[in-house]
Each structure stands twice: as C-alpha cells, then as structure tokens.
Amino acid sequence: MPTEVLMPALSPTMEEGTLAKWLVKEGDSVASGDLIAEIETDKATMEFEAVEEGVVGKLLVPAGTEGVKVNTPIAVMLADGESAADIGATTSQPAAQEAAPAKATPKPTVGVAAAPKTPEGNRVFASPLARRIAQDNGIDIASVTGSGPHGRIVKADVESAKASPKQASPAAQSVPAPAPSGPSTDAVTRMYEDREFEEVKLDGMRKIIAARLTEAKQTIPHFYLRRDIRLDALMDFRSRLNKQLDYRGVKLSVNDFIIKACALALQQVPDANAVWAGDRILKMKASDVAVAVAVDGGLFTPVLKDAEKKSVSALSAEMKDLATRARDRKLAPQEYQGGSFAISNLGMFGIDSFDAVINPPHGAILAVGAGTKRAVVGQDDAVTVAHVMTVTLSVDHRVIDGALGAELLGAIRDNLENPMLMLA
C-alpha cells in the first residue's frame, strides 16, 4: 500500500515549516537514509531523510511552500509492484479522516517501521537510524519520547536522550502562544491608517521568540545583580597569548574568556548550576553554557557542552563554528537546546550595561556590557585609569537565591580578574 511522507517536527517548538527544496523527483528510487528534502523550521534549514526504501510516487507539496503544518502529507512513496494508480485511495477524503481521528485506521507512514514494544505492549515507532543510535549507546528506545510524525522517534530524540534520559513530551515542550496584551491588530492598524507603513509578516523564528520571551517575563521571577569587573590583567594576558598563538591562526576574544570564566564558576558554585523543571530543580554536573548569537530576524543560543573541560582556544574554535552555522541556519536542534546558563554580550555594540531575559529553563543569564577605560579609586585611595566592564546577572529566584547568585557572580569576576588561574 502506498505510504505517505508527513511533514516532520524537526524541533520541539515546530508547528509548521517551509518545504524549501525537494532533493528527489517523482519516479526516483530512494533507500533508508537518503536525503529527500530540505525543510526550513522556526530555527534552521534542515535536511530530511527517508527512513524506508521505495519509489517516489507523488510530490504533494511544491518546493517553496510556506506554512506546511506538521504531520501534513507532503509526498507518497510506492513499494515494489505499486504504481501511481494506487495513490488515490491513500490521499482521498482527508476531511473525513480529520473529523473522526479516533475511529480512523492509522495509515502506514514513512518513518513508522517495525519496532520494539513497551512493557505495556504498546508499539514503539522509531526510524532505523534512531534505533541504531539507541542500541549503540545502550538506550532503551521505549523510554525515549518521539518528536516526529505521530510520535515517531527520530535521530535528534535519541541524541537528546544521551544527555537527558528523561524527556518531556513534545506537547509539554511546545511553546504556548503569548496571551493577548495591549490593543488588537485591527485597533493598532486603524490607529496608523493615515500614516505610511510597511507590514512585516512574522516568520516562525520571530513567533517563537515572542512567545518564549513573553512566557519568560510572565512566569519567571527575575532579579538582577550588577557588578563591575576590571579587565586590565585579562587584556594583557589575552594580548600575550594571541601573539604566541598567531602561528596557529588562533585569535582569542574577550568573549572566549567570559565563556570559560562562567563555565568554571558554575563548577565553583555548583548549587547555581541548575535549571527549573516545573515542580523541581535539576542540578547539572557539567557546565553547558549557551551563548546568544544574533542572526537575521532573531537569535540563536547554541550550547557549548562540557565547557569547563575545554581550553579557551577550543571554546573559541567551537564558538566560531556554531556562530557561523547559526547565521546560516544550519544548526541541529541538539546544538541549541539545553544548557543551564547563558551569556548575552552586547559590548561590541557599545552598550555599557543591560538586563537580559532568562531563557527557560535556564537558572540565569549574564548580560555583558562594553569594556571601557574609567577612573577608579585604588586601595591606596589613588585615582587611576582602569579597563572596566559592567555585567548584569539575571537570576531565576525559584532556582537561585540572592546570596547564591552573588556568590556565582563573584566567582565569574574572580576568574576574569585572575585569568591565569583559569588555565591552572
């Protein structure tokens, strides 16, 4: 029987996407693992793999189509002995199927292959690649929550399970639309009907940013801790290191040292290395630090995992790679999900200080301002000129109390003001 290829959920927040490009045409034979399409999600452009072999019978959605809902049929695959004449029965009467989903007999879909069962006897739907990764890593495939069509377990789900065995359901991970606030769209449009303006349509990324930041400000009890950090020792140390690393083509930035300082501080103050998990707090062992990267139309927060174990030069190289792929929207979901702490640096734009919004479920985010020369009073009451940077730690009070947040910020400052100790 012909099987439908459904629009996949390639990220936990994805509700619809753009079918950017077909990599196959009708009549092509494909094998499991072959790339068949490029799909633009709310965060990235990702390649979509076939998980069963067959022949492409019909492409239902043209390339370039926007707003394709998750689980919408986008193509039909044919098995041996089947022809295009067999497709009609598979794709007919969609309205009736939607009206009575409970009574409808589930149709086979690409990506729903033979799979193990849970202890309760329920069938587990998983792609062959996901099952292979789970087997190689000793993961019980039945314990993984799938984010693919009809709950199918895909590669990204198993990759996430390697770091966090207990996964929330896709429904729990989805981001609710922000509650209406302020005047309606019609009311605002009428207010400016006598003025010239351009209406900008919200893309998937901007919708998600609006929803998540509204949720964060409405539900997270933020408090803010501010501190000045002297950078003279760091600037001198960085200059000397860059001269010695020049032959390797390595150039370390101040931001690279900030990432390292925060990663070590989370180890020095382990109670602050935590996330809010609804009805409990999860204390993390590793320092997985997210760093905000501005892209056209929004931002990403790629995560540098196990940052406390990596050298500053390794963090620098990894950050450059993640930032480049973020701007090209080529990051995989597991590369920008997770972490317990984030950094947002606007110092390069000349911003002296600002307050950042916490990215749930993180416990805190560090807002970094510009390093500037300022007059400071030394220990002998003498006024001197120093290189000073103002940082603001936004803290989730459910996870971190005031004294603990102050201890974390103090550890970050100590690391940056004594940079050689970070290499010890």
Residue pair 235/387 in contact by the 8 Å Cβ criterion: yes
Domains annotated for the chain, with CATH where assigned, are 3-165 (2.40.50.100), 175-219 (no CATH), 222-423 (3.30.559.10)
Q: Which residues pair with 303 in a beta bridge?
A: 290
Bridge pairing between strands 341-345 and 289-291? parallel
**Sign of the CA dihedral with 27 first, then 33, 34, and 35 last:** positive
DSSP code per residue over 231-265: -HHHHHHHHHHHHHHGGGT----HHHHHHHHHHHH
- State residue 84's pLDDT score: 66
Give the contacts of 352 (CB within 8 A, at least 6 positions apart): 369, 370, 372, 390
pLDDT in tens, the chain (424 residues): 678 888 888 776 677 888 889 999 988 888 888 889 988 876 677 888 887 788 888 899 999 888 888 888 999 888 776 766 667 654 443 433 333 343 344 444 443 333 354 444 455 667 767 777 777 777 887 788 877 655 778 777 787 777 554 444 444 444 444 455 567 888 888 889 888 888 888 877 788 788 888 889 889 999 999 999 999 999 999 999 999 999 998 999 999 999 999 999 999 999 999 999 988 999 999 999 999 999 887 888 999 999 999 999 999 999 999 999 999 888 888 899 899 999 999 999 999 999 999 999 999 999 999 999 999 998 888 899 999 999 999 999 999 999 999 999 999 999 999 999 998 7
Tell me if residue 222 is catalytic. no
Q: Please write the tens of the pLDDT for every residue from 263-304.
A: 999 999 999 999 999 889 999 999 999 999 998 878 889 999
Residue pair 370/347 in contact by the 8 Å Cβ criterion: yes
Instruction: Scan for tokens 């390794």, then name that residue.
Output: 314
Active-site choice (150, 222, 387, 397)? 397
Asked if omega into 361 is within 30° of 0 (cis), the reply is yes
Measured N-to-C along each axis, helices 402-417 and 232-245 cross at an angle, to the nearest 10 degrees, of 50
For residue 50, what are the CA distances in angstroms to 23, 107, 313? 11, 17, 38
